[in-house]
Structure 1
Amino acid sequence: MTVAQAVVEYLSKQYTVDTVGGVDYRERLIPGTFGIFGHGNVAGVGQALKQYQQLDPTIMPYYQGRNEQAQSHQAVGYARHTRRRQTFAISTSIGPGSSNLLTGAALATTNRLPVLLLPSDTFATRAADPVLQQLEQPYAYDITVNDAFRPLSKFFDRVNRPEQLFSAFHHGLRVLTDPAETGSVTISLPQDVQAEAFDVPEEFLAEREWRIRRPDADDDDIARAAAAIRSAKRPLIIAGGGVLYA
């Protein structure tokens, strides 16, 4: 199968398990994919999504957008609504299509809300160079628009070889489902690598559960906080958004 097909099938098999009040809530981590297709992703992720839509639309539902930034904001809002148990993947073409996600990446990371960004990238082989909408820096040909995601992401990787797919997505989803580390996870997919065929181990495509950790507060910290509140004349508690996920 191709790299893009492996990505779609892998994401369809990922689940979160969240224990609240002794009850386990099991949800699909990525219930769907947003995407706007151009020359950077139509023959890769676009083909894979179309293939699985024809095979079984429930494997990975696809939602067409009109603006990449709006899609990222929708994904972040959905993650907030689902208590960070679920979010969306977003596929874009290269250049401006990718850079339109930057605001959404910053929003997700600063608010610790999960979103999976899959911006396309220039040819890893450089067989076609330059390509349409490529950022051409004369002093460094390994720089692309997607490098702008590095400071805005909690996890960033670029899959320059099909074999790098396994570690990139395992580490990326580990961050995506970690309450303390979550934010924007950006995995850059060069357009030629997306369409490369390779052997994918069955275990990579097996169902996987990511248990959301919700560790209890330290007893001493609770006691000190309670003592401070009791001793205050007019106590005021300012609680951040994190209390919704505790």
Structure 2
Amino acid sequence: MDVNSINNNINNLNQSSQLQIDKTSESKQLQKIDNDTASSLSINEYNKKRDELSLNVQSLNDGIAISKIANNALEKEQNYLKNIQNELENLKSDNNTLEDKNDIKQVVNDNLKNFNQIAYETKYKNENLLSTDYYDEKKQITINTDSANFSIEKINTPEFANQIFETINSANLNDSIQLDSAISKVENSSNQIQNISNEFTQLGNKVEETAIENIKEQVDLYNKNKLNKDKNFGEESLDFSKNNVFSNIGYLAASQANIVQAQSVRLLS
């Protein structure tokens, strides 16, 4: 065999092997860039959605807390109104003197004082829930999320106490008509307090339903992300197998080159 022909075959084989290796390397680099980009987008989207849902649930938890705190306070206020109503209704069946009936006003005032204390102390994150003042610019209690917004009109329950105080303390409780008027005033205030409590309950129920939906969405997002991770693991395993194949191709080309070179050496020696 001609030496020049052998050298040409060796060069062609080396060039062909190097070309195949270069193409393989280039293909792997392009594939790696595409996979990294897709993976990066997927991770970014997952993190963004996860953070949005987390913030939503936090806001919704605030709404649930507001509803429960307000309702607990309203229930206590209702108890004080019931105490007053019971005291007044007892006067209708008693044969007390005018002085005795006027003494009941102090009991009424004590209950109204406790009523107002509950109203002023009921807050969530320093925001009044059952009382307002002249400097309070917010007219509503709001719960905002990316998917839904909730609100309820702010109320000032001390107004009920003030109206009851004025009605009872200006009334002659020995007069049955004025006594009935005072009882009616307390009863109407109690009904309005109950309506407010119902509104907070409805708010809490709607917020809680939305919170459950967001939590379910969080779970679905987590499961989907976990599935993608498992899928990526399978792709990585496949890539590992491909790399082994490409490596073996390179070893085969090198081996072929070594065989030809060995034959050349034997011919020349």
TM-score (norm 2): 0.22
TM-score (norm 1): 0.23
Structure with the greater relative contact order (CA < 8 A, sep ≥ 6): 1 or 2?
2
Structure holding more strand per residue: 1
Structure holding more helix per residue: 2
